[in-house]
Chain A
Amino acid sequence: SQQGEEDPQALSIQEGENATMNCSYKTSINNLQWYRQNSGRGLVHLILIRSNEREKHSGRLRVTLDTSKKSSSLLITASRAADTASYFCATEALNRDDKIIFGKGTRLHILP
């Protein structure tokens, strides 16, 4: 079963604009991670935010976490063509059973 649900399912924006993707999850978590996947290839780990953190930055990426709403957002600023990919949120449950549960992903397309 999928724990997270990304929103929107697909997003097309102009190069240079900011892209925001949201993720909602169901159970209490230890951490939440965002991954990128290009054209059905392996996943690339982008950023991890712990349950006691509210915001985290990495380059052009900004992730927020609201545990009261069980939601997270990923903001990509100043988008580039190379950002075109699918983005997934994944959660590690609070019981740390070491299973990482992924959502269905957001397909981001950056228009030239």
Chain B
Amino acid sequence: DAGVTQSPTHLIKTRGQQVTLRCSPKSGHDTVSWYQQALGQGPQFIFQYYEEEERQRGNFPDRFSGHQFPNYSSELNVNALLLGDSALYLCASSLAGGATDNEQFFGPGTRLTVL
């Protein structure tokens, strides 16, 4: 049973560029959430996708956008990269509906460095 996978593992970009990060959820999960974790901080919620639509969004600018595909995998896109976008980007999957608990399973993350 594959867990949450993310690609790439590491990425180096320059300011102004655009980046796409990818996530495949745990088998059987239909909901994907994205988090940004700056060094020494806790993860910050970016947004969540369910049924190919953005369901919730945190306090992030429109430069951050996403997509969910019919197979539940997801992409995070960041445009016009800033130095401050350097962080570990974490994807988490869960199963929506029914259960009252929202246990999320996290992937290993993508380390983005913006130069």
Contacts and interface: CB of A to CB of B under 8 A. Distances in A.
Interface of A: 1-2, 4, 30-31, 33, 35, 40-45, 48, 50, 88, 90, 92, 96-105
B88 to A, nearest CB: 6
B66 to A, nearest CB: 15
Q: How large is the interface on B (under 10, 10 to 19, 20 to 34, 35 or more residues)?
A: 20 to 34
Contact of A42 (B55, B56, B102, B108): B108
A88 B108 contact: no
8 contacts: A40-B109, A97-B56, A98-B102, A99-B45, A99-B48, A99-B58, A100-B104, A102-B42
User: Which among A45, A96, A98 has the greatest number of chain B C-beta atoms within 10 A?
Assistant: A98
Nearest to A105: B42
B102 A92 contact: yes
A88 B111 contact: no
B43 A102 contact: yes
A105 B31 CA distance: 25
Contacts of B104: 45, 100
A42 B90 contact: yes
B42 A2 contact: yes
B42 A42 contact: no
A76 B49 CA distance: 34
B21 to A, nearest CB: 14
Nearest to A2: B42
B106 A98 contact: no
Given A30-B100, A88-B43, A104-B41, A40 B105 contact: no
A98 B101 contact: no
B101 A43 contact: no
Interface string B35-69: 10101111111001000000110110000000000
B105 to A, nearest CB: 7
